[in-house]
Amino acid sequence: MVQRHDATRLHYDFRLELDGVFKSWAVTKTPSLDPAVKRLAVEVEDHPLDYGTFEGTIPKGQYGGGTVQLWDRGTWTPQTDTPERDLANGHLKILLRGERMKGKWALVRLRDRDVRPGRAVRHNWLLIKEIDEEADRAHPDALEKDITSVKTGRTLDEIARKSHAVWNSNREDGKPARAVRTAPKSVRSKKKMLRRPRTGMRAR
C-alpha cells in the first residue's frame, strides 16, 4: 500500500505487510523511476492492516492530521528468503507488482546520527529503484503525474471536500494510539488480496 498523505507536508506513506502489520515509511517525495535518484524514507511506527485501505481525512490536531489518498496497491515479494533478517540488517530488496510502482526496489537504512540517551531514534532509509525493465532514466519523475486515487479516482482536494471517512489517531503519552475508524465506514476494495502463504506478506 502507498498512501499519498497531505499532512504537515505532502508525502507518501509506503507500507509493506509483514508479520501481521504494515511496516511503514514516510517518503518525502514521489518515488523516482531512475535508479540514480534516491528518496529519503523515514521509518515510522507499524500500522494496523485495516488502515492500509483507508482513504479520507484524519482530524486536524491529531497524529497525521490531514487528507489521505490510496495512491498505489499491489503485492510484494522479497528478493531473498530472509526478509525479516534483511529488514533488521537495514537492506531489504523487494519486487513490487503495484498499479503504479513495479519491478525491483530496495530499502537501505542510513547510519543513525546524533543519537542521544533517552531520545527516541527515528531511522532514515533510502527508497531506490533498481535497474530492470521498469526503470526509466529518461522519465525519472513519471509517477508525479499520477495524482488520483487507485481506489476512487479522486484527487486529494476532492477527498478533502467530499469524503465522509474519518480516521481518529489520538495520541497517548506522546505516542500514536491504535487508530480507530469512525462512521461512516469507507468501502473496502473488492480486489482480492494475494498472499504469500509461507510468510503472509502483502501490499495492496
Distance CA 32, CA 70 (A): 18
Res 184: pLDDT = 37
136: Cβ contacts below 8 Å, ≥ 6 apart: 33, 34, 142
Model confidence pLDDT, tens digit, residues 170-184: 754 334 444 333 333
14-35: average pLDDT: 97
Find the angle CA(13)-CA(14)-CA(15) to the nearest 5 degrees: 115
Model confidence pLDDT, tens digit, residues 162-172: 988 999 987 54
Using an 8 Å Cβ cutoff, are 32 and 128 in contact? no
Reduce the DSSP state of residue 49 to 3 states and report it: helix
Res 204: pLDDT = 47
Distance CA 124, CA 117 (A): 18
Comparing 79 with 173, the larger pLDDT belongs to: 79
Which residues on adjacent β-strands are paired with residue 97? 75, 102
pLDDT of 69 over the 70 cut = yes
pLDDT of 124 over the 60 cut = yes
Contacts for 177-183 with beta carbons within 8 Å, 24 or more apart? 178/48, 179/47, 179/48, 179/51, 181/50, 181/54
Using an 8 Å Cβ cutoff, are 105 and 96 in contact? yes
Residue 89 parent element (H or E): helix 83-89
Distance CA 8, CA 6 (A): 7
Res 194: pLDDT = 35
Q: Cis check for the bond before 184: say yes or no (omega within 30 of 0).
A: yes
41-55: average pLDDT: 94
pLDDT of 200 over the 70 cut = no
Question: Of the given ranges (89-93, 157-161, 198-202), which has the lowest mean pLDDT?
Answer: 198-202
Distance CA 126, CA 41 (A): 5
For residue 139, how many other CB atoms are within 10 A of its CB?
Answer: 12
Model confidence pLDDT, tens digit, residues 130-149: 999 999 999 999 999 999 99
Confidence of residue 120 (pLDDT cuts 50, 70, 90): low
Amino acid letter, residue 46:
D
Q: How far is CA 164 from the centre of its chain?
A: 22
